[in-house]
Amino acid sequence: YGSAGSKLYVRETQCPYCSVQCKMTVEEVAGPIAGERRAMYTVEGVPNEASQGRLCVKGMNAHQHALSGQRLLKPLIRRNGELVPCSWPEAIQLITKRFASLRDRHGADTIGVYGGGSLTNETAYLLGKFARVALGTRYIDYNGRFCMSAAASAGSKVFGMDRGLTFRLSDIPRAQCIVLAGTNVAECQPTLLPYFNQAKENGAYIIVIDPRKTATAAIADLHLQVKPGMDALLANIMLKIIMEAGLVNEQFIGARTHGYEQLQNALSEIDLEEAAVQCGVDLSLIRQAAMAYGQAETGMIMTARGVEQQTDGHLAVRHFLNLVLATGKIGKPGCGYGAITGQGNGQGGREHGQKADQLPGYRSIENEQDRAYVAAVWGVEPESLPGKGVSAYEMMERVHDQEIRSLLVMGSNPVVSNPNVRLVEEGLRKLEFLVVADMFLSETAKMADVVLPVTAYLENEGTLTNLEGRVLLREQGRPAPGEARHDWDILCSIADGLGKAPYFQYGCAEDIFNELRMASRGGIADYYGMTYERLRREKGIYWPCSSLEDTGEGLLFVERFAHDDGKAAFTSELSPGWQDVSREFPLILTNGRVLPHYLTGVQTHRSPTLEARELENFVELHPAAAARNRIMDGEWVEIQSVHGSFNVRARIKENIREDTLFVPMHWGGIQNVNRATRPDLDPYCRMPGFKTAAVTIRPMRLA
Ligand code: SF4
């Protein structure tokens, strides 16, 4: 600690929260402040092509959680029912002993690994390798299953590859029409909003599709207040109107797509009036939206969790992609599709083998060639690699059924973020051995047998891939506090204890990145041409980047799509949507985010400035719904579905549909919305239907 006024450090880093990955400097200057030996922090945005120097309130205050007095500084071990501090050798020894014992007695598949979309690419990559090589289990998946799986699987089917945006962020102001479906960028990715405002200034027509009048809807020219669960049908109606108006791009359809005729036949079955009633939106407004997008020379469609977190999320995204393809609005400036990722490394986190069915570089764990390639990079026999596992929630079901008896959780808080939380809590209690690596004693860590303290964003080095597919290097700024260690370093120690040290020899994150480059080489998400030196010099590089000379591709699909035949695929499979409310459960519960919080709030609840902005959870409901249920503004209510109930405070607002309740997802315990969400999964991507649950609401004073 230096003398008062001395600069302790100033370092360029990037925000740990959302997928924009805004660059910033954090400067730490020694106190005293008000007579105390405290430091002062100055945070400033650093211009780069993506965030252009902007920061939102989350980024400005991100350092507060890293500096929190609640950080875990030593490993904890459960003794006589209590978590008590222990040494690292003791913690690692216990973990390796218990994992080895379970593996030898019951097989490697009794151990599961649960990762996160905020981990660096290096850690996500190593976690996948750790599960398959050190443990030999097929059970690995991560919380990104709840974030991106619908858009990722849709992009892969339609285009032959999945990258969040098919265009650069800086291209947004060139679009004449922008459709934002189920995305509230104003609160979730606030530094993107100026791009849309710029587009508006340039004359763009902005359409927002959302059951609520959000801060994003406030900038729209047209807001379609769709009923939750009916997004796919809404996209179909728009496309049918565009077809009937002769606004499709026949030349593009003929040259670059297949499946259009089948789609035409399928849409001919739709009665527009009836369908609009099902969507809960006036047909004239949908027509206005369709004509605006169809007539614009350039246009973009972006989706996020509102469309994707549905049991038909995969198809819903594909129907929006049908619109993109039918109008030929992709592969040229001012055009394209974008999935607005939520988590900080939502993009990179899904590319390097953290998913149940994937190996690094987006390779398939079920493809013999892919397995052989990655096995060669890892120096193991292809036959030794386990097969495909199951999705995140399905892992929790196997935990509940005690097929999985032990779990390693890294960078995630599954007891809050999974749907149908009651089953997850019961399952985690049944585990023989739970290990959690975290910065804080999260709700999941509190249930663990061993808790391992890890470094925060200011303290570790690694790459993250933003929503554009731009890989950014985040440098280490501060030393680790106490005995906190890097996630990758912990994995190496456990692998060592399991006798797998030869496969986990890394001195730093860059060593892991260099192996990741090889493992991803020739794959869809190809990082081979990137080095730390290049990332420092060039301030970020897009994938695919296949050689040291390759500058990466910002605008995708200019001449061909990524399928072998170069064409994109329409889908003609329609979805009935979700309409399962009943007399007993007449309201639709939907969830989402609020500006000051991130994921389950493990970090943002420890930031005093952010926490002060939203101290407790709430339900937003329409005055008519409140009157029908005798609810007063500000009072506590109970919301119940067939799966469970939770309690929050009521906020009565005109901005939401009468049939819909909105509850944020950032709180655990009795305020956790996931106590009532349902466990049904999308058949294509295994995304739970977070956005639609049939519920009832009542004031707690009448309980
Ligand atoms: Fe940027 Fe997102 Fe962080 Fe806000 S939360 S500063 S938009 S990366």
CA 417 to mean position of chain CA atoms: 11
In this prediction the pTM is 0.95
User: Which residue's CA lies nearest to atom 2 of ligand 1?
Assistant: 18
- Report the separation in Å between the CA atom of 21 and the middle of ligand 1, taken as the mean of its atom positions: 6
Pocket test for ligand 1, best of 21, 55, 458, 593 (most atoms within 8 A of CB): 55
Which of 49, 58, 63, 341 most suits a substitution to test ligand 1, by most atoms within 8 Å of the C-beta? 58
For residue 105, what are the contacts with CB-CB under 8 A and spacing of at least 6?
A: none
Q: What number is the average pLDDT over the span 426-445? A: 98
Nearest-CA residue for ligand 1 atom 1 is 22
- Specify the length of the chain in residues: 703
Separation CA 97–CA 74 (nearest Å) = 20
Give the Å distance between the CA of 55 and the centre of ligand 1: 6
Closest approach atom of ligand 1 to CA 24: 6
- Among 172, 480, 460, 212, smallest CA distance to 340 is for 172
Which residue's CA is the closest to the ligand 1 atom numbered 6?
A: 59
Amino acid 123: pLDDT: 97
Does 585 sit in the ligand 1 pocket, CB within 6 Å? no
Residue identifier of the C-alpha nearest atom 8 of ligand 1: 21
Angle at Cα 164 formed by Cα 213 and Cα 686, nearest 5°?
Answer: 80
Measured between alpha carbons, how far is 111 from 107 in angstroms, rounded to an integer? 8
Cα–Cα distances in angstroms (integers) from residue 10 to residues 7, 25, 54, 127, 473, in the given order? 7, 7, 18, 31, 16
Residue 315 has φ and ψ, to the nearest 5°, of -65, -35
Q: How far is CA 482 from CA 11, 126, 527, in A?
A: 21, 24, 34
How sure is the predictor about 231, in pLDDT bands with cuts at 50, 70 and 90?
very high
Query: What pLDDT does 36 receive?
Result: 58
Q: What percent of the chain has pLDDT over 70?
A: 97
Q: Which amino acid is at 162?
A: D
Comparing 3-7, 117-121, 312-316, which segment has the lowest mean pLDDT?
3-7
pLDDT at 360: 95
The whole-chain average pLDDT of the chain stands at 95
Which of 189, 192, 467 has the most ligand 1 atoms within 8 A of CB, as the residue to mutate? Answer: 189
Q: How far does residue 169's CA lie from ligand 1's centre (Å)?
A: 14
Say how many Å lie between the CA of residue 386 and the centre of ligand 1: 37
For ligand 1, is residue 20 a contact (CB within 6 Å)?
yes
- Sequence-ordered list of residues with C-beta below 8 angstroms from that of 248, at least 6 positions apart, any chain: 242, 294, 326, 327
190 C-alpha to center of ligand 1: Å? Answer: 7
pLDDT over 70 at 451, yes or no: yes
Backbone phi and psi for residue 104, each to the nearest 5 degrees, phi listed first: -70, -35
Tell me: the pLDDT tens digits for 463-478? Answer: 999 999 999 999 998 8
pLDDT confidence of residue 29: 80
Written as six digits, the tokens of 670 are 């009795």
Can you list the domains of the chain with their CATH numbers? Answer: 7-66 (2.20.25.90), 76-146+347-457+476-502 (3.40.50.740), 155-339 (3.40.228.10), 587-702 (2.40.40.20)
Q: Are 303 and 293 in contact (CB under 8 A)?
A: no
Pocket test for ligand 1, best of 18, 216, 595 (most atoms within 8 A of CB): 18
Alpha helices by DSSP H, listed for 392-486, are 392-400, 414-417, 421-430
Q: Which residue, by CA, sits nearest to atom 4 of ligand 1?
A: 56
* 377 Cβ contact list (under 8 Å, min separation 6): 360, 515, 518, 519
pLDDT tens across 17-51, in order?
Answer: 999 999 999 988 876 655 555 678 889 999 988 89
Overall average pLDDT of the 327-345 stretch? 95
How many angstroms separate the alpha carbon of residue 145 from the centre of ligand 1?
21
Whether the upstream peptide bond of residue 360 has omega within 30° of 0, thus cis, is no
Mean pLDDT in residue range 197-214:
98
- Looking at the DSSP bridge assignments, the partners of residue 79 are 82
The atom of ligand 1 lying closest to the CA of 45 is 6
E-assigned strand segments in 348-461? 358-359, 363-364, 406-410, 433-438, 450-453
